[in-house]
Amino acid sequence: MKILVTGGSGLVGKAIQKVKTEHDFIFLSSKDCDLTNFDKTKDLFDKIKPDYVIHLAACVGGLFKNMNKNLEIFEINLLINFNVIKCCHLYKIKKCISCLSTCIFPDNVTYPIKENMLHNGKPHESNYGYSYAKRLLEIHSRLYRETHNSKFICIIPCNIYGENDNFSLEEGHVIPALIHQCYLSKKFNKPFVVKGTGSPLRQFIYVEDLANIILLILEKYEGNDDLIVATPEKDEISIKNIAELIAHYFEYDNIKFDTNYSDGQYKKTVDNTKLRNFIDYKMTDIKTGLSKTINWFKLNYDICRK
């Protein structure tokens, strides 16, 4: 089968390239097609004629990019998602798996969060542009399921980290940004400054685990329900502990927390029961995943995204 992967040069796309099966994969980057343009997207589908689509393409960033660029992020993602899902319908795609994020769940919610709670309230104000665009992607996919019995499902991963991430200090997600910050702090013998109090709690999934699970869903999942893809609740960890682990791997203990910065959402604990009912998959523990990610970052510092 022919599988089109949008966002194929990003964090998750690169991981799928590494673990991919024997099928015919086409990995699409933003340089290959402007997915915000419907005609160009349609021409791409017409040329490739994929059987399946893994939709990863998105305008993404960490807390501070989301806070500063809510409108831009909303509009770009809205266009990308509409065009891809519409073309999946027009070209009779057998299954489309679209990637959401646990950060789009309501801010005020009971824990642990389940899949059916996605629209039960407003998202956190720090990333409402990204959140609403992704929520509309879920609605769009669900409407095609209800109207045309399409196999358009959404996965909702917790915080993803790993090799080939964006290690930007300003626009990266928390783990890659902290890795880069600690690297520079040690290099220039300055305090390793962590923005915020470090108290927020998060579940983190190593990117190769997510890639493997996506392929299992593509090949074996027959359900029509969306799936939370996350580590167990017991593995939830604070940003402070993540920073301390990163500092440990760099052998650098001069850490300071700058409480002038926002912490963002305090927690967003999700329930992965539905996923565990589908597969029995052992996740990479955070210490092993961080060690692999930091080693890769050191080896690829000159060429990685930052």
Active-site position among 128, 130, 144, 206: 130
Q: For residue 67, which of 123, 126, 128 has the smallest C-alpha distance?
A: 126
Dist CA 275 CA 225 (whole Å): 10
130 is catalytic: yes
Q: For residue 106, what is the DSSP state? A: B
Q: What is the H or E stretch that residue 193 is in?
A: strand 192-195
| Residue 139, number of CB atoms within 10 A of its CB | 12
Q: HSE (CB half, 13 Å, CA atoms) of 55?
A: 33
Cα angle vertex 280, ends 97, 206, to 5°?
60
Q: Are 17 and 25 in contact (CB under 8 A)?
A: yes
Contacts of 167 (CB under 8 A, 6+ apart): 176, 177, 179, 180, 297, 304, 305, 306
Peptide bond between residue 176 and the one before it cis (omega within 30 degrees of 0): no
Dist CA 265 CA 103 (whole Å): 8
Buried b (16+ CB within 10 A) or exposed e, 117-133: bbeeeebbebbbbbbbb
Q: Are 2 and 52 in contact (CB under 8 A)?
A: yes
- Supply the residues annotated as catalytic: 130
